[in-house]
Structure formats: structure tokens, C-alpha cells
Chain A
Amino acid sequence: MPDAPGLPPLTDQFSQAYWEAAREGTLLIQRCAACGRYQFYPRGHCAGCFAPDPEWVPASGRGRLHTYTVVRRTPNAEFAADCPYVLAIVELDEGPRITARITGDADGLACDRRVHVVFTPAGQAGVLPNFARDRG
């Protein structure tokens, strides 16, 4: 993935933990202490039961490719140089789904293929969790 220009995430006090962990090679998700539900994207409350302050937990980083598309054209100039790229929704083994890219090209990709997290330096965007297909 090219380094620039991209569209960096605008972090806030709450999300800083997530992006700092990504820089250190950990994918964080959240788990609600009250109902046990895992959630992504991170929030200040559980979107299942509204209990406050779900805890940050490291995800296994393993999951399945739920769906994907190869973006060949974009009206957004900041991503034009990236085309084509694989935009995907990955279902983590813990349950939640996450938006990311699949590294490499789309050859041999299929829904439900096993994938694992990789951490991609992305210029101003810092480090973005992405996914690569498992071998075999």
C-alpha cells in the first residue's frame, strides 16, 4: 500500500489506545463486562446492552473474509494512486466484523477464506490493521 496521501484517521482521547496498540502490532477490540459481547468498532458503551466502558481486549487477529471488492476506480483523489486495491469486511473469530484491506491482489480470493491481521505502515495514517490470506 503506498505511503501517501491516504486519509489518516482523526483520533481522539478515546480511540488513542486502539491506534497506539496497532503501532505495536496488536489489534484491539472491546468486550462488555456486563453482557460478554465483543464489539468493533470501539465505543464508550456496549451497543448491545448500553453498559458503560467496555474493556479493551487483544483480538486473536484471525478470522474469515466475509466479503470484498476490488476498487478499480475512485472519485477520491487521496486513494487514486492505490487503485486497484481490495477493500474487505473481515469477520473476526471473536464475532465482530472489521473494515480493512486485503494485502496483495485478488487472485484466489473468495468469501469465507481464512485471513489474519497484518500491520501496514501507511504514512500519515500511522499503522493500519489489514489482513492477509492464510496459507493453504
Chain B
Amino acid sequence: MPASWSGQVAIVGAYESPRRRAPGVHPFAIQAECAAGALADAGLEPADVDGLATAASFPAEGAREMAVAEIAEYLGLHPRWMDGTDIGGAAPVSHVGHAVAAITAGLADVVLVTYAACGYSWPHGAPDYLTHAHGPGQWELPYGPTTVATYALAARRHMHDYGTTAEDLAAIAVQCRANAAANPDARYTAPISVDDVLASPVIADPLHRLDCCVVTDSGGAFVLTSARRARSMTARPAYVLGFGEALGQVSMSQMWPYTATAAAASGARAFATAGLSPAEIDCAQLYDSFTITVLLALEDLGFCGKGEGGKFASAGELAPGGRLPINTDGGGLSSNHPGRRGALAVVEAVRQLRGSSPGVRLDRPRTVLVHGMGGSLSTSATLILGA
């Protein structure tokens, strides 16, 4: 049975910046572009917003400790409810669940969730570490981890345990690129083959450059309100049917087991609260920082069995005509990944439900799952939206 709040809150406005390169632009300016875009899409005014959620503590996001306060000030908003939950790329997906709680509790009527970063052009440097070399990090950082390497560790063990191949992983990148072909804003649109992925330079084996997401300057935003209010608005609402989140680990020595992620917990919670099963999902926007991120999510969310993700991808099940079309705008692997892809995955899910995706338009999907994964397979938030 669905949770009491299932379907009671809707996303009524969504916007993704068309920018992919913005040298000389501060990310707060992109935040403002996205906030204005989402409100215009919803037919709302800034004065209607009484809740704000954002995360902007990565260097290329431009804020520091009080990100939500810095962004509110820059935008010119004075919300009565705010959320700065900062769980990496999954944060904007997490913000949706928190906004549902706030709206159903009467703590806010209209919540704006914004995100922006200049992942490509940020001029001030940004070390690729999740922690300091102090506390727990002193047992990891001296060995030279990188973001790609931490995902490669999981990919290697998955290959060992289940026979997953580099070709299986490459099939995910190939599909995302195919989906980007029609998207005029996508960072890359030229088709690629499995061989192209395997021929691209190895960054941290078994992951190649084309197993990795693009790095862009961009952002996105969306607006939530009660289903009751949504019904009187112009845009077609995307109802929040289910939500779950979970924490895994930050230090790679603490990941256990090594071939499963917190998505198993966040996904189970999302399906339970929606009263739906994986077979009832028409489309998924799966966090695709790397190809292995998608493969693990397919298994952990229950779209296939553990160890079967490689075959699922290689068999074409992720294509528009397959069992689970994914990342219909090209995803982070080909379209847009400024830093926290979760925000853009939510926007694409809304567009897909409205029939307005800039990439592949599916035939009237009724349910779209959004999955966010942050850090080094560290954090997870899963959302189910319905038409």
C-alpha cells in the first residue's frame, strides 16, 4: 500500500540550463537563471516561494559552509523552510523527499530546489578528494585515491564476481550517447560504438574515458507544491509517488559488500512508499557519473538480479524499446554533468512525463524513476514520479 503522502505533492515547474561551457560565469548566476526558469515554467513568482533547497559546497559550486543561505541571499529569497542536505550528486533527489515532508507537514507551500556548478571552468582549482587527510581520511588519502579510481574498484570486483565485461559497461555509454543525438543542448551527440569506448584512454582500469561522465558548467531547478494546488496550475504535474534515501560509506575500505550500494535500501524504500514494483516503471533516469554507477543501480534497484546488470545492458534493455529505457536526454555520460547530476535527472524525468524530453520521447510513460548516487558510491536517493 502506498505511503499516506504518496501522490500528495507534485513537481510543477522544471528547467535545465542549456549551458555546457560558461567560462567567467559564477555558478550563482546559473543558479539564478535556473530558479527563474523553473518558476516561469510553473507560472509562479519569486514571492510565491517559501521553501528553498540547494547544495553548493563543492568548490565549483561557489559556496562554502552555509550554501543554502548564500544562495538564498543571492537569489533574493527569504524562505521559511530550507534544506541544505549535502550528500553529493544525490542531494537534489534527496531534497525532493524532504520537500514532500515539508509541504505535507505545512512547513512550506512552494519549494524551489536549485542547483548549479561550473565543473569545467571553475578557475580556482578543486582537489579530487572527498575528505581531508585527517581523521578517517588519513588512512586513505596518502594512497592517492581519485573519484574514477574508487568507482573502478567496484567495477573490478563486479567483473571478478559476476563475469561482467568492459563491453557490458561500454554498452551503457553507447546507449546514453544514442539518446543524446536529438538533444540540441547535449555536450556530445555524435554516435559512439562499444569499440570506441574500449579504444578511449584508460583512466583507472577497467574504466575508460568514455565510461566517465562529461564535465560541464550548468545547472537545473524545479518547483514543488501540493497536488491540490498543482491541479489549478498551467503545467502538467509530475506527482511524487515514492521516495527513499540511504547512506553507504565514504572511505572505500568501508564499502561492504563491494558489489552492492546503498541503492538497494533507498530503492526498496522508494518502491514501498509508491506501492509499485520495478516492473511497473516505464523509464528511469539513473545517475551516470560512470557506467558502473548505472550497472550497480540496475541491480540494486531490482530491475535485474545481482550480477545480471552487464547482460541486461548488453542485450539492449536500456534502449527506448527495451525493458527499461534510461537517461533519455543523454544523461551525465553524454549531455550534462556539472557536479550533481541528480538535479538534471529530476528535470528530465519531469520532461519525460510531459512528453517534452529534448532527447528520446517515449510513448506516454506513466512512471519514471530517478536515482541519485553521490560521492564514491556513498549516498543514495531514489524517487518515483508519476503522471
Contacts and interface: CB of A to CB of B under 8 A. Distances in A.
Contacts of B144: 6-7, 71, 74, 76, 78-79, 82, 85, 87, 101
B203 interface: yes
Nearest to A80: B144
A67 B253 contact: no
Contacts of B140: 41, 99
Contacts of A15: 138
Contacts of B155: 69
Interface residues of A, number: 42
B367 to A, nearest CB: 35
B160 A110 contact: yes
A57 interface: no
Interface string B251-280: 111111010000000000000000000000
Contact of A89 (B138, B142, B153, B204): B153
A89 B253 contact: yes
Interface string A56-96: 00000000001111111111101100100101110000001
B201 interface: yes
Interface in B102-137: 127-129, 132-136
Interface string B152-168: 11111100100000000
A111 interface: yes
A79 B258 CA distance: 25
Contact of A99 (B127, B132, B139, B160): B139
Nearest to A112: B160
A97 interface: yes
A52 interface: no
Contacts of B127: 75-76
Contact of A67 (B132, B136, B139, B153): B153
A102 to B, nearest CB: 10
Given A9-B139, A10-B138, A89-B252, A76 B146 contact: yes
Contacts of B134: 9-10, 12
Contacts of B142: 6-9, 122, 125, 128
Interface of A: 6-12, 15, 40-42, 66-76, 78-79, 82, 85, 87-89, 96-101, 106, 110-112, 122, 125, 128
23 contacts: A8-B142, A9-B133, A40-B139, A41-B251, A42-B139, A67-B157, A67-B160, A68-B153, A68-B156, A69-B155, A69-B156, A69-B205, A70-B205, A72-B205, A73-B146, A85-B144, A87-B149, A87-B204, A97-B253, A97-B254, A106-B205, A122-B142, A125-B142
7 closest A-B pairs (Cβ-Cβ)?
A: A9-B138, A69-B152, A111-B160, A79-B144, A67-B157, A10-B134, A41-B139
